[in-house]
């Protein structure tokens, strides 16, 4: 890590390694064979992370993760299809919003902000509405840190004969998603979460059959994944200007991921970060919002201290002055803040963050 860079506990963008940053110090031509080979190689390695074979293809897309979610739904769902979105936080709500905004039929099953999605209720909802063709699920709801029960939900969706579109933005690469065990039509993620790249591209791992069937469905020119895929197959190139430096950094980040030991090793490091964080928060008298069994080792939501001197902006500025950047809360009903466990960080950075938080609280006169 460059010493001047802050520790970003704000996934994402998140803290990236020096090697990932350095990989951006070169210009690439978008038509160049070397760059096209780099893209192809990034896609192949992303498919390998979900143990995908010929039945899975990776389509990269310019933009942040939301662009890829919007592209996946717009491309894979028939115009007359209906999406059931399973909501338990802000990212589920966003998926619902973008679906209606593109004029597709939508149903929402809302579980509030404190509970995981319940497979039994999903099974009921699917049985009650035969018009539902697709189900949208957020794997880890980053707005709270809740982990939704993916294997059980994927089974319910498959048994009902519907297609699963999975937003695995904040879990891909760290939590296991095996394409041979989980029946999905699409898994969506981006460069700047658990694979620790810089922001600028999303990607969709799609079932080849689902993507092949999707020609002409998209309402959008630039978010048409089928066209992006076909064009890339034909030419090796991205359809429109690629985020060249982002792809180069991502290739380096994926190389570091593989060298670290892949998914299992990444998960172990994040679990260690998460445990160190939660232990340290408890020492400071701060309470995590979720119980341990709901908590994914990705991001921890913390109750704001119940103290008259509490003010998140003030706390944030004090912690930031010590080189650590936190995230505001995203809950509607209660005051919280969030601390990420992901990025090119380990226990030393978590301890530095906890020290900064403790000093900031003391300076604010908050004794919790
Ligand atoms: C980060 C994230 C997204 C995408 O957000 P962007 O700001 O568009 O990158 C979508 N879903 C989840 C669960 C996320 O964590």
The domain spanning residue 67 has which CATH number? Answer: 3.40.640.10
Per-residue tens of pLDDT for the chain, all 368 residues: 445 789 999 988 999 999 999 999 999 998 899 999 999 999 999 999 999 999 999 999 999 999 999 999 999 999 999 999 999 999 999 999 999 999 999 999 999 999 999 999 999 999 999 999 999 999 999 999 999 999 999 999 999 999 999 999 999 999 999 999 999 999 999 999 999 999 999 999 999 999 999 999 999 999 999 999 999 999 999 999 999 999 999 999 999 999 999 999 999 999 999 999 999 999 999 999 999 999 999 999 999 999 999 999 999 999 999 999 999 998 878 899 999 999 999 999 999 999 999 999 999 999 76
The reply to whether 146 falls in a domain is: yes
Host H or E run for residue 152: helix 150-159
Question: What's the 329 CA to ligand 1 centre distance in angstroms?
Answer: 15
Residue nearest to ligand 1 atom 4, measured at CA:
65
> Is the same domain home to 27 and 143?
yes
pTM of the model: 0.97
Say yes or no: 251 and 269 in one domain: no
Together in a domain, 210 and 329: no
Which residue from 276, 20, 290 is spatially nearest to 142, judged by alpha carbons? 290
Given 226, 259, 292, which residue is the final one in a domain?
259
Q: Write the CA distances from 368 to 278, 284, 294, 351, 355, integer angstroms.
A: 15, 7, 25, 18, 15
- Structural domain count, the chain: 2
Q: Are residues 271 and 235 in the same domain?
A: no
Q: Which of 259, 294, 309 is the last residue of a domain?
A: 259
Q: Is the same domain home to 265 and 249? A: no
Question: Is 350 within a domain?
Answer: yes
Q: Are residues 39 and 76 in the same domain?
A: yes
CATH code assigned at 268: 3.90.1150.10
3 state SS of 211: helix
- Inter-residue contact 61 to 201 (CB < 8 Å): yes
Q: Which of 86, 142, 196 to mutate to test the pocket of ligand 1 (most atoms within 8 A of CB)?
A: 142
The residue from 259, 285, 314 where one domain ends is 259
Residue 368 domain-assigned?
no
How big is the CA angle at 218 (ends 213 and 221), to the nearest 5 degrees?
125
Domain encompassing residue 292? 7-13+261-363
Q: Is 341 exposed, middle or buried (0-12, 13-18, 19+ CB in 10 A)?
A: buried
Cβ(296)–Cβ(175) below 8 Å:
yes
CA distance 102 to 329: 28
Whether residues 76 and 196 fall in one domain: yes
* Pair 222, 270 in one domain: no
Q: Are 96 and 108 in contact (CB under 8 A)?
A: yes
Q: Is 170 in the pocket of ligand 1 (CB under 6 A)?
A: yes
Cβ distance 189 to 172 under 8 Å?
A: yes
- How far apart are the C-alpha atoms of 17 and 363, rounded to whole Å? 31
């Amino acid at each position: 890590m460059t010493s001047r860079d802050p520790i970003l506990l704000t996934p994402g963008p998140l803290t990236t390694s020096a090697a990932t940053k350095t990989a951006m110090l070169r210009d690439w031509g978008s038509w160049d064979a070397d760059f096209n080979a780099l893209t192809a190689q990034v896609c192949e390695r992303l498919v390998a992370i979900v143990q995908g074979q010929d039945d899975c293809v990776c389509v990269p897309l310019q933009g942040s993760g939301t662009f890829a979610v919007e592209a996946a739904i717009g491309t894979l769902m028939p115009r007359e299809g209906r999406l059931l979105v399973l909501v338990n936080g802000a990212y589920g709500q966003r998926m619902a919003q973008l679906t209606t905004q593109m004029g597709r039929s939508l149903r929402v099953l809302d579980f509030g902000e404190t509970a995981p999605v319940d497979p039994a209720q999903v099974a009921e909802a699917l049985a009650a509405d035969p018009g539902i063709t697709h189900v949208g699920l957020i794997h880890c709801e980053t707005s709270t840190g809740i982990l939704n029960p993916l294997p059980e939900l994927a089974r319910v969706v498959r048994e009902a004969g519907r297609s699963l579109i999975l937003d695995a933005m904040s879990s891909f690469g760290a939590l296991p998603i095996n394409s041979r065990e989980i029946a999905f039509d699409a898994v969506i993620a981006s460069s700047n979460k658990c694979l620790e790249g810089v922001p600028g591209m999303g990607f969709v791992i799609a079932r080849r059959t689902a993507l092949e069937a999707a020609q002409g469905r998209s309402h959008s020119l630039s978010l048409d994944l089928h066209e992006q895929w076909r064009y890339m197959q034909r030419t090796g190139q991205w359809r429109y200007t690629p985020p060249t430096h982002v792809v180069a950094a991502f290739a380096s980040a994926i190389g570091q991921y593989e060298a670290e030991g892949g998914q299992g090793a990444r998960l172990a490091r994040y679990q260690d970060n998460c445990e160190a964080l939660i232990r340290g928060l408890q020492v400071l008298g701060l309470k995590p919002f979720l119980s341990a069994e709901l908590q994914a080792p990705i991001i921890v939501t913390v109750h704001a201290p119940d103290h008259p001197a509490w003010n998140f902006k003030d706390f944030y500025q004090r912690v930031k002055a010590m080189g650590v950047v936190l995230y505001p809360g995203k809950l509607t009903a209660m005051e919280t803040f969030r601390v990420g466990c992901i990025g090119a960080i380990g226990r030393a950075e978590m301890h530095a963050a906890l020290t900064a938080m403790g000093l900031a609280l003391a300076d604010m006169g908050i004794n919790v």
